[in-house]
Amino acid sequence: MAENYQFETRCIHGDGGFVEGHPYGAVSVPIFQTATFAHPGIGKSTGYDYSRESNPTRYELESVMSSLEGADDSIACSTGMAAIGICLELFGEGDHILCTEDLYGGTVRMFESIGEKRGLKFSYVDTSDIDLVRKNIRKETKALYIETPSNPTMRITDFAEMRKLADEFGLLILADNTFLSPYFQKPLQLGADIVVHSGTKFLGGHNDVLAGFVCVKGKELSEKLRYTYKTVGCSLSPFDSFLVLRGIKTLSVRLERQQENAKKIALWLKNRPEVTEVYYPGLEDHPGYEVNRKQATGAGSMLSFRVDTVERTRKILESVKLISYAESLGGVESLITYPMLQTHGDVPVEIREHLGITEDFLRMSVGIENAEDLIKDLEQAFQ
């Protein structure tokens, strides 16, 4: 029975039965590179009419994502930002959304430009502080927007406590699950109503495709989001759907290796005299360690660290050889990022500094290379 399949099997087969429907028994999903589908007759349909609305390749990807996240529906979008964008259409003028203060900078940019232009209101608090969240809920608050671990300072938010507040005040919970993916964390099972992903990252896993997902609990939310999706036209292409589906097949084995490498690097960084702070939820001295262990099965492979001087920060970025100085994350290749200039460059300086995203702060996405080779590369860059 499909419900007995373990996560690793569902990464490859979903809930089962896809191959039976593939032309010629193709084991891999065919790429249905077509914009339109012929009707068998008047008022009749094959189930697919136009690829902006639905496509067989994309449908298989969406079905696998629903299986992995435990969602009633999953919607594959052209980018992670497109996924967030259609979620905003659930809200109207004057509605307030209370957000994790340490969010991906692109999310903040969308909220404060496109969202506010539409009359939505946003405020940001440390959602790891339950009392602070409660104090900032207003009568016009409609949703909590949570990212845990947060980007880039790796703060952890307790889903169970957020669900209690959501039930008390009648709020939706939207959660960005990009950093841990459904392999390590399943927010819908923990109390979220909607989960968003940048599928570009761990789900795709190879730094070669842009994608986004909205995973939903409940028919009503699904219908509203599907209507916006069809209308706006931010659907993922058939070829990109194929690439992400191919990436997901190795999600579990990639993430295990990436997490193993990240833990080794985090411990190495903690012992370096040049490093003043390490942010990784898999370390026992991380303030969110116990909460993350309660609600997730792993700490993932994203980590950040602070060094003793700005000069050293810049030297590391310009000296790494095996590790690439680049934006993005989650691929098999290790990347190092300078958040103050890259991911959070549009966030006002005073807010960045309040969050600790300063000139001596670096973020690393650990890949699947040999951990000792990565450490040697960092070591020579530190010299």
Q: Active site includes 176? A: yes
In one-letter notation, the amino acid at residue 174 is L
Q: Active site includes 263? A: no
Find out whether 143 and 190 touch, Cβ atoms under 8 Å: no
Q: Which tokens is 308 given?
A: 């003793």
Q: Which tokens is 251 given?
A: 């999600």
Q: Which of 139, 157, 256, 170 is nearest to 205 (CA)?
A: 256
Find out whether 230 and 205 touch, Cβ atoms under 8 Å: no
| Active-site position among 95, 102, 104, 229 | 104
Find out whether 77 and 213 touch, Cβ atoms under 8 Å: yes
Find out whether 115 and 88 touch, Cβ atoms under 8 Å: yes
Q: Which tokens is 63 given?
A: 């079905």
Cα–Cα distance between 79 and 201 in angstroms, integer?
Answer: 10
Find out whether 96 and 121 touch, Cβ atoms under 8 Å: yes
Q: Collect all residues with Cβ–Cβ distance below 8 Å to 48 and sequence separation of at least 6.
A: 37, 54, 55, 56, 59
Strands 361-365 and 302-307: what pairing? antiparallel
| Active-site position among 121, 142, 201, 254 | 201
Say how many residues make up the chain.
383
The DSSP line for 64-99 is HHHHHHT-SEEEEESSHHHHHHHHHTT--TT-EEEE
Q: Active site includes 224? A: no
| Active-site position among 15, 52, 293, 312 | 52
Residue in the structure block whose two tokens are 């006002």: 348
| Active-site position among 176, 240, 360, 377 | 176
Q: Active site includes 104? A: yes
Find out whether 195 and 215 touch, Cβ atoms under 8 Å: yes
Find out whether 160 and 166 touch, Cβ atoms under 8 Å: no
Q: What residues are annotated to the active site?
A: 52, 104, 176, 201
